[in-house]
Amino acid sequence: MALSLPILIGWLVYIIIAYYCIYSISNILTRIILILILCLSLTYLTCHNLPVFHLSSLFIVAICWLTSIRLFHLIIFSKNNSLTFKSYLLKLLWIYFPIQTSTSVKNQWSIISSIILIIIKLLMSHWVHRWLINCDRGISFERIVMFYMSIMTTSYAVDIQVILIRILTRDKYTMESFTNFPIFSLSIREFWGRRYNKITNTILKQSIFEPLRSQFLSPTISALITFIISGLMHVHVAFVIFDDLSTLFPTFCFFFLHGIACCVEANTNMQFDDHVRWVLTHTFLLITAPLMIGPFIKEGSVFLKLNPPPLFDNEWIPKLPLPNFCP
Per-residue pLDDT, 81: 62
Crossing angle of helices 141-153/111-134, nearest 10°? 140
Per-residue pLDDT, 80: 59
What average pLDDT does the segment 123-130 reach?
Answer: 92
Task: Give the domain ranges of the chain.
Answer: 1-97, 104-174
CB-count burial class (<10 Å; 0-12, 13-18, 19+) for 260: middle
What are the backbone angles phi and psi of residue 29, rounded to the nearest 5°?
Answer: -65, -40
What average pLDDT does the segment 53-79 reach?
Answer: 92
Q: Say what the pTM is.
A: 0.92
Contact indicator for 246, 256 with CB cutoff of 8 Å = no
Residue 139 pLDDT greater than 80, yes or no:
no
- Nearest CA to 317 out of 165, 125, 153, 149 is that of 125
More confident residue, 39 or 268: 39
The mean predicted confidence, pLDDT, of the chain is: 89
pLDDT band at 127 (very low <50, low <70, confident <90, very high): very high
CA atoms within 13 A of residue 76's CA, in its CB half-sphere: 20
Sequence length of the chain is: 327
Residue 2 pLDDT greater than 80, yes or no:
no
What average pLDDT does the segment 303-320 reach?
Answer: 88
Report which listed range, 74-83, 100-109, 111-120, is most confident.
111-120
β-pairing, 173-175 vs 99-101, is: antiparallel
Contact indicator for 210, 135 with CB cutoff of 8 Å = no
What average pLDDT does the segment 194-211 reach?
Answer: 92
Report which listed range, 15-24, 71-80, 261-270, 306-315, is most confident.
15-24
Per-residue pLDDT, 167: 93
Per-residue pLDDT, 79: 64
Residue 170 pLDDT greater than 50, yes or no:
yes
Residue 3 pLDDT greater than 80, yes or no:
no
- Nearest CA to 294 out of 242, 256, 231, 257 is that of 242
Per-residue pLDDT, 298: 79
Residue 1 pLDDT greater than 60, yes or no:
no
pLDDT band at 276 (very low <50, low <70, confident <90, very high): very high
pLDDT band at 75 (very low <50, low <70, confident <90, very high): very high
Per-residue pLDDT, 11: 95
Instruction: Report the range of poorest mean pLDDT among 65-69, 176-180, 249-253, 298-302.
Output: 298-302
Amino acid identity of residue 270, one-letter, is: M
Residue 34 has a CB neighbour count (10 Å cut-off) of 16
What average pLDDT does the segment 239-250 reach?
Answer: 91
Residue 47 pLDDT greater than 90, yes or no:
yes
